[in-house]
Structure 1
Amino acid sequence: MNVRDAFYEVLRAHGIRTIFGNPGSNELPLLSNLPADFQYIHALQEGAAIGMADGYARASGQPALVNLHAAAGTGNAMGNLTNTQAGHVPVIVTSGQQARRYAALGALLTNVDAPTLARPLVKWSNEPLRAEDVPHALSRGILLARSAPAGPVYLSLPLDDWDHDVDAGALAQLEIRAVHGDPVLAEPSLALIRSRLAAASNPVMILGPGTDDAAGWDGAARLAENLALPVYVAPSPSRCPFPTRHPNYRGILPSDIPGVASALDGHDLAMAFGTAIFRYHVFADGDYLPAGTELWTVTSDPDEAARSPVGRALIGNPSDALTRLADTTPSGERAPLAALARPRPLDEPGPAFSAEAIIDALDAAKDESTVIAHEWTSVDTTWDRFDLSRPGSLFFPDAGALGWGLPAAIGLQLGDPSRRVLSVLGDGALHYTVSALWTAAHYRVPVVFVVARNREYAALKNFAQVMQFENVPALDLPDIDITDIAAGYGVPATRATSLTQLTTAVKEALSADGPRLVEVPQQRLST
């Protein structure tokens, strides 16, 4: 058996039969006569390919493979790779090279230490020294990608490796290799949390993307109810880790230092699970915590724990910790919390609508199984107007790199066809990876894309106001026909001119058997 056939055998052993990519000349030896049990999902640009693989891994719960073309293709993908890394998503990136000389590229990805990135872009990179080592490198990469804390890995694979023979005995051992185990908090560490919660007079819970799973939702809800804990979502959230209509839910924390401190004022203990401490988005000086507030956090990522500027961190699976705490913590003496008053759905005449009204209209169109791929950055802190009652119901780019939402929605839909995906996009974000619309049309992936059209970079205009900058160029996006662009890629598209029409159009699209796009006019920040 040659290296190419062994490559596919290793993928089969791990249940990977879908490859995302945008092929180039170096990939032809691998893709020629693709085995019949594999599916190749063609993206027209590498950033879109990474986004699709990322979404697929999140929805399926299994590692995803994306094949890129050489150094240039890897470069095109790096923006979205920051989201994959920050989201702890198990994606295996393979890159075809003309010769055994590009290991330095993988080393760059694993040794990035710029302040803006804070950590490497991949967990591990490798270029096998011998062609015969390719199957072992792939096996190692898959196992590393899915091990806690999960994350992407990178393999540089020279194009002349594929025809070399491999050792059949070594391959047979690779096919049965496995790594089991998920590091969890030791009982003494859990006892510390239990004791601290019991001693607190006014504790509060903070949840992040690391608890957005069935165990995390159940454990968090039971613990919050047992101890009458108000529950916040950590700043700059990339997922929804708690039901937005639960009586204990208190909203999303502000994404600035003094805003978080103000929200936590009066609480002597903040217990955080599954989140970095904290992902601030707007710079403002101030104290990280109010006087008298102690912060503890449980995270599966030691690097995340070490770089936190405040608090005491414990390393282990945060959802497991929540489950065990809920199982062993008796109900407290505090009275149950009353639910916050929910805002009434807005009904506006138009011709353009507020972000809140648009969300309300979309909420009326979806059901509890709908998954929202959210890249509408000017409203990133108001998505909790959606009624979200199941884990894995909302995803936002973890590192804030635009161009993720559209292709990730396609991957999310392919990764779990049982749940329909609603992709909510700003008209600026759409264009970063707009070519992914072709992939949705070509493979008939039934994602519903809703584009809020405000003809501006509203998020940047918000920043300009906060930072008191005036007359900034390039913040307007006039004269772009989004429905025509979608139609050109093969996606049927329509414009909604009323909120009722928006709800009806999205409901119909969610029951269609292919992709649809709906454009809706959004009120501009300024005229």
Structure 2
Amino acid sequence: MPDHHRPPATVRDHTLRLLRELGLTTVFANPGSTEVPFLVDLPDDIDFVLGLHEGSVVGMATGWALARERPALVQLHTTAGLGNAVGALATARVNRAPLVVLVGQQDRRHLAHEPFLAGHLEGLAGDYPVAVHQPVRAQDVPGAVARAHHEAVQGRGPVLVVVCMDDWARPMDPDQPRAAPARVARPLHVAPDDAAATEIAAFLDGARSPALVVGAGADSAPAWRALTDLAERLRAPVFQESFGARAGFPQDHPLFAGHLPAERSRLRAALRGHDAVLVVGAPALRQYIYADGPLVDPGTRLAMVGDDDGEAHRGAADLAVIAPVAAFTAAVAALVDDRTNAPAPTRSGPAAGPDREVPAPPAEGEPLRPAHVLAALAARVGPDTAVVEETPSSRPRLHRLLPARAPLGFLSAAMGGLGFALPAATGLRMAAPTRPVVAVVGDGSALYQVQALWSAARYRVGVLFVVLSNGRYAVMDRLAEHGGGKAPWPDFPEVSLAALARGLGCPAVEVATHTELCRALDEATAGLAERETPLLLDVTVAPDPDFAP
């Protein structure tokens, strides 16, 4: 039974527990007032070593770390302490000594007024730290410390974590997802007998119902082959990360289970029943709309594999492996037990796989909707077509109706900022002049880099640009509606992408009906791989009625 009279665990409690797990139980310090809340009543199993100057503090920690061949823990006092330690931190970096350095900061509650002893700390040590973290919330401190430990090992140098003095007493949310992996493995050479590959294989073999999550970091032909082999041997469903900029698995494969939702409760529902989830080439697990609660249900364990250090260091996983994705996944696939005779996984929930049902053409007098356009396009393009997407309100429909069937078959902006698709599609076709390239873009998105059409026309780049024109920022309108508010921005139905394209030298066709759409697509997609001039289809659509952010 839970003890309802016990005060909730604090940021300090969680950080002390983490320091024990990481072996950081000796702290080298010359304390000041901003460090007192952490140091007072320090548990007996945490050893305190005093230095009479910060240079001595960091120097002792440097020698300790080099002798132990693992990170040492340092605590410094805001501006004065960090400033005094910079020379020693520079030495630690060049000596390749991994240090986790906690730097005190004034109370967060009046930091905006720059109280006495507040410091501008981020750039004070120059380029000598491997990284500097200033947690946005008090509850992010333990995750920042864990990340600093991984980065200090990887970067072989000091990593700073700036902690406001009042953060230590703040309560922790017990359901908050892990902000950094419990362990990070970095195999120097990927081989079938690699210890990390063996551990990941055991992680999957020990699961009753394993699942895979793939992302942009797995978008290559070797990675697709390795992941297909692994999924088929495990008989495991494969989910695409939410808001992935590229596809990490063939989305027409029977084991493809769809795109993960970008909201926490729906994410839990999608992965429910899977006791081991391996994330490959993707964050674990990035979301969009904030919601309380854990990322996955209790009993679901997460591991991740990727070649991006930063992505691994902030992953909510029990184990993160930093390794070449294709080679490491192939090694794991060779080690796992063969379950190919097991029943196929049952797919259900919000990411239950691609819906290939083609919508019926609109009835007489009904408007075209994005689904009609995407279905008509899907019926006319080949599996090697590269689809560059920038239509936020229609993206879920595009995923279902235009699955990526070859590496680089889907491309989108990883950061979510608009203005990507028109120039990116142009550059992609320049680099791959025999590959069919289609950009599917909202009219609002197209306006951010409409100038790219001039370059496509000038350099005879045969991209088909399909613009879904609804004369508004449809995704913003829907987000405002979901928030229960009224949007202050107006529509812009007078904007004509066809007119803008022609003014920039790019041929354009205006489309308003399903008949016109089919005719235009028939003409535009015939010989798309050989096309030498761009074409923009300005298709008037009404927003999809069932959009969900």
TM range (shorter): 0.5 to 0.7
Pick the aligned partner of 1:409 from 407, 414, 425. 425
Pick the aligned partner of 1:394 from 401, 410, 423. 410
Q: What is the root-mean-square deviation in Å for CA atoms of aligned residues?
A: 3.0
Task: After TM superposition, give the deviation of residue 334 of structure 1 in Å.
Answer: 2.1
Aligned to 1:522: 541
Counterpart of 1:473 in structure 2: which amino acid?
Answer: P
Aligned to 2:267: 260
Residue 336 of structure 1 pairs with residue 371 of structure 2: no
Task: After TM superposition, give the deviation of residue 296 of structure 1 in Å.
Answer: 0.5
Task: After TM superposition, give the deviation of residue 377 of structure 1 in Å.
Answer: 1.2
Q: How does 1:237-248 map to 2 (within 5 A)?
A: 237-248=244-255
- In the alignment, the residues of structure 2 paired with residue 504 and residue 235 of structure 1 have an alpha-carbon distance, to the nearest angstrom, of 34
Aligned to 1:101: none
Structure 1, 216-225 or 491-500: larger mean CA deviation: 491-500
Aligned to 1:231: 238
Find the residue that maps to 2:521 and give its secondary structure: helix
Task: After TM superposition, give the deviation of residue 508 of structure 1 in Å.
Answer: 2.4
- In the alignment, the residues of structure 2 paired with residue 114 and residue 498 of structure 1 have an alpha-carbon distance, to the nearest angstrom, of 54
Pick the aligned partner of 1:383 from 382, 398, 410. 398
Counterpart of 1:335 in structure 2: which amino acid?
Answer: P
1:236-277 Cα distance to aligned partner (Å, 9 max, x none)? 111112222211111000011222112111111111100012
Residue 370 of structure 1 pairs with residue 385 of structure 2: yes
Aligned to 1:280: 287
The answer to whether the 8 Å contact 2:257/2:354 transfers is no
Find the residue that maps to 2:321 and give its secondary structure: strand
- In the alignment, the residues of structure 1 paired with residue 308 and residue 214 of structure 2 have an alpha-carbon distance, to the nearest angstrom, of 15
Could you say if the C-alpha distance between residues 185 and 463 of structure 1 is closer, same or farther in structure 2, counting changes exceeding 3 Å? Answer: farther
Could you say if the C-alpha distance between residues 212 and 335 of structure 1 is closer, same or farther in structure 2, counting changes exceeding 3 Å? Answer: same
Aligned to 2:511: 496
Residue 432 of structure 1 pairs with residue 448 of structure 2: yes
Find the residue that maps to 2:379 and give its secondary structure: helix
The answer to whether the 8 Å contact 2:263/2:290 transfers is yes
Q: How does 1:31-42 map to 2 (within 5 A)?
A: none
Could you say if the C-alpha distance between residues 218 and 338 of structure 1 is closer, same or farther in structure 2, counting changes exceeding 3 Å? Answer: farther
Counterpart of 1:326 in structure 2: which amino acid?
Answer: A
Counterpart of 1:223 in structure 2: which amino acid?
Answer: L
The answer to whether the 8 Å contact 1:365/1:503 transfers is no
The answer to whether the 8 Å contact 1:461/1:475 transfers is no
Aligned to 2:328: 321
- In the alignment, the residues of structure 2 paired with residue 495 and residue 438 of structure 1 have an alpha-carbon distance, to the nearest angstrom, of 18
Unaligned runs of 5+ in 1: 1-105, 119-147, 149-181
- In the alignment, the residues of structure 1 paired with residue 283 and residue 521 of structure 2 have an alpha-carbon distance, to the nearest angstrom, of 35
Task: After TM superposition, give the deviation of residue 462 of structure 1 in Å.
Answer: 2.1
1:338-365 Cα distance to aligned partner (Å, 9 max, x none)? 7868432112226532222221111112
Residue 215 of structure 1 pairs with residue 234 of structure 2: no
- In the alignment, the residues of structure 2 paired with residue 494 and residue 394 of structure 1 have an alpha-carbon distance, to the nearest angstrom, of 24
Aligned to 2:297: 290
Aligned to 1:174: none
Percent identity, aligned pairs only, is: 30
Counterpart of 2:460 in structure 1: which amino acid?
Answer: R
Pick the aligned partner of 2:197 from 190, 194, 197. 190
The answer to whether the 8 Å contact 2:368/2:512 transfers is no
- In the alignment, the residues of structure 1 paired with residue 201 and residue 317 of structure 2 have an alpha-carbon distance, to the nearest angstrom, of 20
Task: After TM superposition, give the deviation of residue 323 of structure 1 in Å.
Answer: 1.9
The answer to whether the 8 Å contact 2:422/2:439 transfers is yes
How high is the TM-score relative to the length of structure 2?
0.61
Aligned to 2:359: 346
Task: After TM superposition, give the deviation of residue 517 of structure 1 in Å.
Answer: 0.3
Residue 418 of structure 1 pairs with residue 434 of structure 2: yes
Aligned to 2:3: none
Residue 357 of structure 1 pairs with residue 364 of structure 2: no
- In the alignment, the residues of structure 1 paired with residue 469 and residue 188 of structure 2 have an alpha-carbon distance, to the nearest angstrom, of 45
- In the alignment, the residues of structure 2 paired with residue 334 and residue 227 of structure 1 have an alpha-carbon distance, to the nearest angstrom, of 9
Q: Which has the higher contact order (CA 8 A, sep 6+)?
A: 1
1:382-402 Cα distance to aligned partner (Å, 9 max, x none)? 322214321111101001111
1:429-476 Cα distance to aligned partner (Å, 9 max, x none)? 0011111111011111111100001111111122212322x2221152
- In the alignment, the residues of structure 2 paired with residue 351 and residue 513 of structure 1 have an alpha-carbon distance, to the nearest angstrom, of 35
Find the residue that maps to 1:374 and give its secondary structure: strand
